[in-house]
Homo-oligomer: A and B are copies of this chain.
Amino acid sequence: MTTRHDDLIVIDGLIIAKWSRAVFADMRKGGLTAANCTCSVWEGFEATMRNIAQWKRFFRDNADLIMPVHSAADIARAKQAGRTGIVLGFQNVSAFEDQLGYIQLFKELGVGAVQMAYNTQNLVGTGCYESHDRGLSDFGREVVAEMNRVGMLCDLSHVGAATSRDVILASTKPVAYTHIAPAALKAHPRNKSDDEIRFIVEHGGFVGVTMFPPFLARGSAATVDDYLQAIEHVISVAGEDQVGIGTDFT
């Protein structure tokens, strides 16, 4: 018997975890076809490369559960193989350091999504907790162009409003808020206004809704209903075609 679940391609927009076989087994139980899995937040180039080397080991030791994703076709292959496809992702550009040339190296090693800033200012732009966001730096514009060239998604979830807008306009390919909640339901520096949600979607982008309780209407008292309400709100603003989930817990 084929259930709806068996037919679906289910992609988690962002997961951060203390990775282990138990986590990968849970991904299978949850029916995840693919997920954007964080392998760098504050780390520089070398520490991130060591994290990626560790992921190569995870792929080898858990080949019955997970497989690396280098392209959209690999997601279909993961579905077919009954394994969860892993898109490696960064939540910050710190691993790029000041080297545009590193971007292609990371892409070739399986990094498919990179957030342009994580809460604070960096070489590229500004995160959502900074006092002032003056948008993309000149280097940041080069980074967006290089990410476009190699085929790496720009994630804007933790990014400030001005930098997000600059990236949406500068990018020649669709970008994403992989894991956000709507500001209309809860005022919070990490949440996005209806205008921001509309703006990214109008430019072809994707919005993933996160269930992190502090971003939901009732904060730490939130239940799954609050999460559904957040999803419904984002869909009401953006339409359902470009909305999904991102189950990050940060």
Residues of A whose CB lies within 8 Å of any CB of B are 45-46, 49-50, 52-54, 56-57, 99, 101-102, 104-105, 108-109
* Residues B45 and A99 in contact, CB atoms below 8 Å apart: no
- Quickly give the copy total for this chain: 2
What would be 12 A-B contacts, judged by CB atoms less than 8 Å apart? A45-B49, A46-B46, A49-B49, A49-B102, A50-B101, A53-B99, A53-B104, A53-B105, A56-B101, A56-B104, A56-B105, A105-B109
Q: Across the two chains, which residue of chain B brings its CB closest to A54?
A: B101
Q: Check A53/B109 contact, CB under 8 A, given A45-B46, A46-B46.
A: no
The chain B residue sitting closest to A49, CB to CB, is B105
Chain B residue contacts of A105, Cβ below 8 A: 49, 52-53, 56, 109
CB of A53 within 8 A of CB of B101, answer yes
Q: Do the beta carbons of A57 and B101 come within 8 Å of each other?
A: yes
Known: A45-B46, A53-B102, A56-B101. 7 other contacts (CB 8 A): A49-B49, A49-B102, A50-B99, A53-B104, A53-B105, A56-B105, A57-B101
Of all chain B residues, which has the CB nearest A70?
B108
CA distance A54 to B52 in the complex (A): 21
Q: How far is the CB of A43 from chain B (nearest CB, A)?
A: 13
- The CA-CA distance from A109 to B102 in the complex, in Å, is 11
Chain B residue with the shortest CB-CB distance to A56:
B104
Chain B: minimal CB distance from A60 (Å):
9
Output the least CB separation between A233 and chain B (Å): 42
Task: Considering the complex, give the chain B residue whose CB is closest to the CB of A59.
Answer: B104
Q: Whole-angstrom distance between the alpha carbons of A45 and B47 in the complex?
A: 11
- What is the CA–CA distance of A235 and B108 in the complex, to the nearest angstrom? 40
Return the 4 tightest CB-CB contacts between A and B, nearest first: A53-B101, A56-B104, A46-B46, A53-B105
Distance between Cα atoms of A108 and B107 in the complex (Å):
11
C-alpha spacing A45/B57, complex, angstroms = 19
Provide the bound-state CA to CA distance between A178 and B200, in Å. 54
Residue numbers in B under 8 Å from A101 (CB-CB): 50, 53-54, 56-57
